[in-house]
Amino acid sequence: MIQRLHPYWPSMGLGITQIMGYGTLYYAYAVLLPHMADDLGMSLSGAFGILSLSLLFGGAMAPIAGHLVDRFGGRYVMTIGSLVGGLALLAFAGVSGRTSLFLVVLVTEAAGMCVLYNVAFASIVRLESPLRPATMISIITLFGGVASTIFWPVTLALYNALDWRDTWLVLGVAYLVISVPIHYFALSGKETDPQDAAKNVQKDWPLLDGSDRRRGMLWMVISFTFSGFLMGAVMTLWVTNVQDLGHSAALAAVAGAVIGPFKTVGRMLEMVFSRNLHPLMTYILALGLTMSGFCTILAVGFSVPGVIIGAALYGMGDGIKTIARGTLPLALFGAKGYGARLGWIATLSMSVNAAAPFTFALITEHFGGWVSFAAMAAIRAMSILAFFFIPDPRRHAHATA
């Protein structure tokens, strides 16, 4: 039994570190940053503005991290990244003002680019394994989906029992103890040439070429950018927005925790039913589900069932979307330079997406949580529109034949 599970250990290990990474490096902000802003004499939009600037800097690190993985593999990139990230989390306990907060968040987000999904996908694809790249990516995201389920309630409980400084200390120690050794040992297996990974991609999926390749990259990045614009906003402002709809902080955290299990549900369904489903179809399904989640919140989010159902639909879609963000570039453009390609896509997306926490915090401050959710739905609609301009390489192949 253990021998049969051996090929799955690296993906499962990286999945655990994604729970820790997203839980501490992203989701904790939603609970702790508003309290930090109050204690440090800052506005909500000012605190999230610092986060936005740091996300922009982190995005600039993404292609560097991807290039390093393509050249040297992910073991040392992710191990060093998790070490720096954990120490940065500990440093939050000593923050005393705007400048120190900015510096700590800056380092934290830069480290995050070396340990989160994009680098994990590029690292796992390089390992010699009998598993398909899409399967390994799905396993990683299957674990990562419960990050909000665990860390929103846990972070809130830690804050209520301690304070935000001690909470950051606990999170930092936990991240160091769990993530650093997993990154070092889970990625210690034999690596294959990146081009050899292409043989595991579905052979019936031709790659884009010529002008279609350039057009496909353009519209895929545009769709990813609009889609990803919501990621930072939802992770950091979910609790605040749901409270503004008339719910308690505890219920907002519980509703946010619902997102995680339904991310896992969505990813399990994707693993079961989409073995021969092209990532283009997976991606549009994901966008449709998240859009339905926002629409539900806007329509009946003032009720407890409404906000729970909206969170569940959003979670299912977001869980599938994360897989598609890893498999779609692989299916359309191939495995050569995959890590660097993900890095550049992340940089282009995050150069825009970094403004999301500040933008939506400003909307929430001035217009309330419902309008903030409505703006998120409008952004999701733009990502759906951009999707329909991505060329389908299968149609081109059939036309040529």
pLDDT value at 287 more than 70: yes
**pLDDT tens across 177-189, in order?**
999 999 999 888 7
pLDDT value at 10 more than 60: yes
- Amino acid at site 137: I
Domain carrying residue 310: 2-396
In the chain, how many domains are there?
Answer: 1
**Mean pLDDT to the nearest integer, 316-326:** 85
Q: How confident is the model at residue 204 (pLDDT cuts 50, 70, 90)?
A: low
Percent of the chain past pLDDT 90, that is, above it, reads 32
Residue 183's pLDDT is 93
Q: How confident is the model at residue 274 (pLDDT cuts 50, 70, 90)?
A: low
pLDDT value at 199 more than 60: no
Of the candidates 270, 239, 371, 259, the residue with the CA atom closest to the CA atom of residue 309: 259
Phi, psi of 127 (to 5 degrees): -70, 140
Q: How confident is the model at residue 3 (pLDDT cuts 50, 70, 90)?
A: low
Contacts of 38 (CB under 8 A, 6+ apart): none
Between 188 and 18, whose confidence is greater?
Answer: 18
364 is a domain residue:
yes
pLDDT value at 401 more than 70: no
Lowest mean pLDDT among 2-16, 191-205, 375-389: 191-205
Of the candidates 145, 146, 349, 360, the residue with the CA atom closest to the CA atom of residue 239: 360
**pLDDT tens across 224-269, in order?**
888 877 776 787 788 889 999 989 888 887 888 788 788 888 878 8
**Mean pLDDT to the nearest integer, 179-203:** 70
**pLDDT tens across 329-361, in order?**
888 887 777 777 877 887 777 777 767 777 888
CATH code, 245: 1.20.1250.20
111 is a domain residue:
yes
Strand partners, 191: 127
401 is a domain residue:
no
Percent of the chain past pLDDT 70, that is, above it, reads 92
99, with CB counted inside 10 A (0-12, 13-18, 19+), is: exposed
- Intra-chain end-to-end CA distance of the chain, in Å: 45
Q: How confident is the model at residue 34 (pLDDT cuts 50, 70, 90)?
A: confident
Between 102 and 189, whose confidence is greater?
Answer: 102
Phi, psi of 191 (to 5 degrees): -105, 150
114 is a domain residue:
yes
pLDDT value at 376 more than 70: yes
